[in-house]
Structure 1
Amino acid sequence: MVKAKQGTAASDDADTIAPPPAQVGQSITPVETLARIAVVDAETGDRIEKVIQADADAGKVTRFVVEDGALVRDGNRYRTIEEERKIRIEWTDGENSF
């Protein structure tokens, strides 16, 4: 779990776990943070895989299209999908969504 540093806005108690960010993305969130983030479907509890970016407040996820465990290509680019759905962004010590 990620802990808030003493004196941060999250808490003045160094042992308090900071809440996960409401928005995450490959171009806006440090890699070490993404490694500890799971984006989860709020209704099913299933982890959403191959996320590019997610906004829990807006309920939007952009992710790579995956078929049979592989990314799907469209010419020389990987296909992506933008979804509007209820999501949660959670800390994880297991598999991440990126």
Structure 2
Amino acid sequence: MNTQTTFKTEHAKRYLSTLCKHFGHKVPVQLDGKHGRIELPFGQCELAAGDEALDLTVSAETKADLDKTAQVIASHLERFAFRENPQIEWH
């Protein structure tokens, strides 16, 4: 199962780096320029930074794990990007 969202921002690469570095202290993370992957115990998140947006795709085995993964990633992004007041809606 997966769900995705796009956060429109001119600072996508910075948020990608911040998220990956933050989670990298606790779980496996891959960071390669404008792409990243965060592997939580209950799901994972693929991130791609463009010039005007950060695309996030969350995947997990169950709906409950998908919702939990999406919530964890969104809450951290909202905290790191508080100045931009992101409205994260997963589709």
Which category of TM-score, normalised to the shorter sequence, fits these structures? under 0.3
More helix by percentage: 2
**Larger relative contact order, structure 1 or 2 (CA cutoff 8 Å, min sep 6):** 2
* Greater gyration radius: 1
TM-score by length of structure 1 reads 0.23
TM-score by length of structure 2 reads 0.24
